[in-house]
Structure 1
Amino acid sequence: MNNTSGVGVLDKAVWVLAAVESGPATLAQLVSATGLARPTTHRIAVALEHHRLLARDVQGRFVLGPRIAELASAAGEDRLLAFAQPVLVQLRDLTGESAQLYRRQGDVRVCVAAAERASGLRDTVPVGAALPMTAGSAAQVLLAWEEGERMHRGLRGAKFTAATLASVRRRGWAASAAEREPGVASVSAPVRGAGGKVLAAISVSGPIERLTRSPGRLHAGAVVAAGDKVSDLLRTEASAGSLSAPGTNNT
């Protein structure tokens, strides 16, 4: 190893984590990959397992632990919000309607960012509000690209159908009128991560008297463009990060 920080125990822990990045590894394989002594490797691997940074598969091999995914999710959330907030403001100003960003959390969708219309009749969704996954254009977007069984489970009790979600996938946006709440209409589009996975739904919402019962005709283009802009920012950052990441020499 030659990629050292000067903090020996931390460097060794990182080497062990890097050794399982490509897949499960036995203790012997960790020793071979890191060049560390077997007792040292075992001690570090067990400590990382205690902190859930490593786990064991059914064969007893070391694999990346659940804490890695939790940290990655938190980091992704921070980047998503940082990129989305100015885009939400632009979307609000362009459409004249309140704009929101939703992420799915189990059986609900949570408003994680918003830009409210300054005055007049508006649909106010506070940041942190949990809304059902069974109604509304944002729910449609967050469910439309789910895997088959997960999508079908989500349709139970929903006010929209599988045919609705097929239309959402085909055109790339969703619209609803009085579906979640009487008198409220909305348009939503997906925000995608580097791998194309739908991370969030970006939306505008407001009274039907302004958005009409066909709100997509008014605002689908703007909402899709906003979703694409946030997606592009996330992909660009991910690409830049992969290009600038230092290589690891395991020889």
Structure 2
Amino acid sequence: MTERQVDAAATLVTGVGVLDRVIAILDTVERAPMGASELARHLGLSVPTAHRLTGAMVRHGLLRRDGEGHLHPGERFAVSALSGAAEPVLEELRGETGETAQVWVRRGEDRLCLLTLDSRAELRATLPAGTRLPLADGGSAAEALEGGVAGDWYESVSGRTPGLCSVSAPVLLHGEAVAAVCLAAPVARVGDAGPGRLYGPRVVAAATRIERALATR
């Protein structure tokens, strides 16, 4: 074992092998991004094991790959800062529009409502924080999380829930959608204009403000 491998192995102290390897991988790529094969050599893992572990970690958002295939800590680590960055922005968005403002994040094949500030109107769209919905069920937040492009907004009118509409924009970090800002309202209050034309630019601006806040944390 090389000196570098000894240093890495010294952090593996719990005796829970898979967890220790995951932490060693995170510690390593935080210091120096690298590919899975180089990571295997660095930590003394077999190449198939390194590829299997890093592949699973990418799928769970613990790692991300850049354009050169180097591994970095993933978007899950931005979520801890996301609520704090998003709450004042959602407060302002709700105040400007009078409608329910939310932040959604991806969890595998689902989306999770991380934060919601409900409209104060008696008739309103509402889902509690912690709600989990399949991405396949659609909705503007699902579209923003799956196909998010900077400056774009996505609209849904009675798509997932009849009588409700929404407009969402992706929050990007390292070029990937780590969250979606969603403004949801009853169709009756939005009217023929639709939520995108009415509120799309404001939702995009809110998402951009959260991106900038995350980038400084």
Name the TM-score, length of structure 1 as normaliser: 0.62
Counterpart of 2:175 in structure 1 is 196
Alignment of 1:64-213 (within 5 A): 69=62, 75-134=77-136, 135-145=138-148, 169=149, 172-193=152-173, 195-212=174-191
Q: Distance in 1 between matches of 2:82 and 2:181?
A: 11
Counterpart of 1:28 in structure 2 is 2
1:212 partner SS: helix
Return the letter of the residue paired with 1:179: G
Please state if 1:231 is matched with 2:205.
Answer: no
What does the per-residue CA deviation read over 1:188-228, in whole Å, with 9 as the maximum and x for residues that have no partner?
A: 001112x1211000010010011235211110011000000
CA-based RMSD = 3.1
Deviation of 1:177 (Å) = 0.1
What does the per-residue CA deviation read over 1:143-169, in whole Å, with 9 as the maximum and x for residues that have no partner?
A: 114xxxxxxxxxxxxxxxxxxxxxxx4
Deviation of 1:88 (Å) = 0.8
Q: Distance in 2 between matches of 1:210 and 1:76?
A: 34
Return the letter of the residue paired with 1:54: A
Deviation of 1:76 (Å) = 1.7
What does the per-residue CA deviation read over 1:1-24, in whole Å, with 9 as the maximum and x for residues that have no partner?
A: xxxxxxxxxxxxxxxxxxxxxxxx
Deviation of 1:45 (Å) = 5.5
What does the per-residue CA deviation read over 1:53-72, in whole Å, with 9 as the maximum and x for residues that have no partner?
A: 22695965417976893886
Deviation of 1:78 (Å) = 1.5
The 8 Å contact of residues 105 and 180 in structure 2, kept in 1 or not, is answered as: yes
Return the letter of the residue paired with 2:86: A
The 8 Å contact of residues 177 and 184 in structure 1, kept in 2 or not, is answered as: yes
Sort the Cα spacing of 1:207 and 1:59 in 2 relative to 1 into closer, same or farther, 3 A: closer
Q: Distance in 2 between matches of 1:76 and 1:221?
A: 24
The 8 Å contact of residues 104 and 112 in structure 2, kept in 1 or not, is answered as: yes
The 8 Å contact of residues 189 and 224 in structure 1, kept in 2 or not, is answered as: yes
Q: Distance in 2 between matches of 1:192 and 1:170?
A: 7
Alignment of 1:11-26 (within 5 A): none
Task: Report sequence identity in percent.
Answer: 31
1:54 partner SS: helix
Query: Based on CA coordinates, which of the two structures has the bigger radius of gyration?
Result: 1
Sort the Cα spacing of 1:90 and 1:29 in 2 relative to 1 into closer, same or farther, 3 A: same
1:44 to 1, 10, 14: 10
Q: Distance in 1 between matches of 2:134 and 2:167?
A: 16
Deviates more, 1:100-109 or 1:181-190: 100-109
The 8 Å contact of residues 151 and 204 in structure 2, kept in 1 or not, is answered as: no
Q: Distance in 2 between matches of 1:204 and 1:59?
A: 44
Sort the Cα spacing of 1:198 and 1:72 in 2 relative to 1 into closer, same or farther, 3 A: closer
What does the per-residue CA deviation read over 1:95-149, in whole Å, with 9 as the maximum and x for residues that have no partner?
A: 110001001112211100011112320000100001231311101111114xxxx
The 8 Å contact of residues 175 and 216 in structure 1, kept in 2 or not, is answered as: yes
5+ residue gaps, structure 2? 26-35, 64-72
How many correspondences in the alignment? 179
5+ residue gaps, structure 1? 1-26, 32-37, 146-168, 238-251
Return the letter of the residue paired with 1:92: R
Name the TM-score, length of structure 2 as normaliser: 0.71
User: Could you list the runs of 4 or more consecutive aligned residues of structure 1 that deviate by over 6 angstroms after TM superposition?
Assistant: 63-68
